[in-house]
Amino acid sequence: MFSGFFYVLRDQGVPVTPTEWMTLMDALNQGLAGPSLSGLYYLARSVLVKSETHYDRYDQAFANYFKGVETTDKLADQVARWLEKSLPRLKIDPSQRVFKDWDLEELKKALEERLAKQKEEHHGGSQWIGTGGTSRFGHSGYNPAGIRIGGESGNRSAVKVAAERRYRDFRADETINTRQFEVALKKLRQLSANDEGPREDLDIDETVEATCKRAGLLELVWEKPRKNTLKLVLMMDSGGSMNPFSRLCSQLFTAASRANHFKDIKFFYFHNCVYDNLFLDPFCSVRNSVKTRDVLRDLSQDYRLIMVGDASMAPSELLMAGGALDWGAENEEPGLAWLERLNRHFHHSVWLNPLTAAEWPPVEATYDTIAYIRRLFPMFELTVEGLERAVNRLKVNK
């Protein structure tokens, strides 16, 4: 049933799996969605979507897929009750099957009006909503231009709820020194499952346990040490507007390169915004650069991405093809497209901004590059506290 929706969801970037889809089918077979579209909306959402950050994409997919199925909300309950008791079907004389001109909008409006006036069941008449008869509304009856109101009913509210996109928002001081940065970065770890490597650590708890089990006879238990499997990629802006913050950035750089608890760490530089090339040194010379596309291909998606930059530039540098500041860097795509690509590639990404949060324009601002970038990346201040919060953010899926 409507398996197209499955693919619409996946296209929108909601990671639905066949297992979950089968669960939904199971739930539908049990009648859990009820007769209304809003029932389906909530059922499918709770079964298929596993993070509030995907709610918005789900809403869009739902609105998109089900937008054709719209009737008025109130029909479902009330009218369904009237229609439960039904008269036998009317026999139709084929000669009567003349279609008058009719208009669906007009008909819906008439139905709403009639619904407002009608307070009870009617069967067999020609005017009110009921079964049999020739009213334009109801079932088992006949009207050449009528609306069939059966057990199943669409429900505008679900599509409307979806179209409202209420979950859009989820789509997601002082002086500092290197040491503090290091401590903050230390928290960024993801321990490996202990299923590889030799057993070389003494497991005290298990040793006590095993010894007790053998009634006091010592038995040593060894376990495999756990290692951090977290990989990090750091991209730093070294454009002119970053000069005032160079000390701050170099402290972060020192802390990150000193941190030896990462499985892998990579550094790249960019000038104001990322385009086709990423640079390997802070002077941003083309000779010492790599193709951004290659970097994306080489680095797996579980690298944590930390962007560092003031996100301040001329809007054209972000929004226009060929807008790159550097002479000769003929970027065919606007910087924003590259940033989107980075954000899409890496499952975990944050943006650290040396400007204090008070200087950032609100996210809704349409004219400012900081606001544009904040809509893409969760942005934090480049302070110890900001870094801590960014690290926490990097631990969970966006």
Nearer to other proteins, 273 or 373 (CB): 373
Give the torsion sign (CA, 148, 153, 156, 162).
negative
**Which part of the chain contacts other proteins (CB under 8 A), choosing from 45-53, 91-99, 119-127, 331-339?**
45-53
**In this chain, which stretch among 24-32, 79-87, 235-243, 282-290 interacts with other proteins, using CB under 8 A?**
24-32
User: Does residue 366 interact with other proteins by CB under 8 A?
Assistant: no
Least separation in angstroms between CB 386 and other proteins: 11
Q: Tell me: does residue 286 bind other proteins (CB under 8 A).
A: no
User: Minimum Å distance from CB 215 to other proteins?
Assistant: 5
Of 145, 202, 290, 396, which lies in the binding site for other proteins, with binding defined by CB under 8 A? 396
Candidates 111-119, 123-131, 146-154, 389-397; binding stretch for other proteins (CB under 8 A): 389-397
Q: Which is nearer to other proteins, 52 or 77 (CB)?
A: 52
The two tokens of residue 46 are 């709770």
CB of 112 to other proteins, least distance (A): 23
Among 51, 64, 71, 178, binds other proteins (CB under 8 A): 51
Q: How far is the CB of 227 from other proteins (least distance, A)?
A: 13
C-alpha 37 chain-centroid distance: 22
Residue closer to other proteins, measured from CB, 39 or 146 = 39
- SS3 of the chain: the string is CCCHHHHHHHHCCCCCCHHHHHHHHHHHHCCCCCCCHHHHHHHHHHHHCCCHHHHHHHHHHHHHHHCCCCCCCCHHHHHHHHCCCCCCCCCCCHHHCCCCCCCHHHHHHHHHHHHHHCCCCCCCCCCCCCCCCCCCEECCCCCCCCEECCCCCCCHHHHHHHHHCCCHHHCCCCCCCHHHHHHHHHCCCCECCCCCCCCCEECHHHHHHHHHHCCCCCCCCEECCCCECCEEEEEEECCHHHHHHHHHHHHHHHHHHHCCCCCEEEEEEEECECCCEEECCCCCCHHHEEEHHHHHHHCCCCCEEEEECCCCCCHHHHHCCCCCCCCCCCCCCCHHHHHHHHHHHCCEEEEEECCCHHHCCCCCCCCCHHHHHHHHCCEEECCHHHHHHHHHHHHCCC
Q: Which is nearer to other proteins, 30 or 260 (CB)?
A: 30
Among 3, 4, 19, 175, binds other proteins (CB under 8 A): 19
The single residue among 14, 37, 49, 311 that binds other proteins, judged by CB under 8 A, is 49
Among 2, 46, 246, 294, binds other proteins (CB under 8 A): 46
378 binds other proteins (CB under 8 A): no
Smallest gap from Cβ 357 to other proteins, in A, equals 6
- Applying CB under 8 A, among 104, 216, 327, 367 the residue interacting with other proteins is 216
The footprint of other proteins on residues 156-215 (CB under 8 A) is 166-167, 170, 190-191, 193, 208-209, 212-213, 215
**Counting contacts by CB under 8 A, is residue 17 touching other proteins?**
yes
CB within 8 Å of 230: residues ≥ 6 apart: 188, 189, 190, 262, 263, 304
- Tokens encoding 2: 């409507």
Q: Quick one: which of 35, 50, 86, 254 contacts other proteins (CB under 8 A)?
A: 50
Judged by CB under 8 A, the residue of 43, 69, 87, 221 near other proteins is 43
Nearest distance from residue 153's CB to other proteins, in Å? 17
Strand-pair partners of 306: 234, 350
Cβ distance to other proteins smaller for residue 47 or 61: 47
| Residue recorded with tokens 């918005």 | 56
Which of the stretches 51-59, 123-131, 134-142, 249-257 binds other proteins when contact is defined by CB under 8 A? 51-59
Report whether 239 contacts 325 (CB < 8 A): yes
Residue 260 CA, distance from chain mean position: 32
Q: Which parts of this chain interact with other proteins (CB under 8 A)? A: 17, 19-20, 23, 26-27, 30-32, 39, 42-43, 45-47, 49-52, 55, 166-167, 170, 190-191, 193, 208-209, 212-213, 215-216, 357-358, 362, 392, 395-397
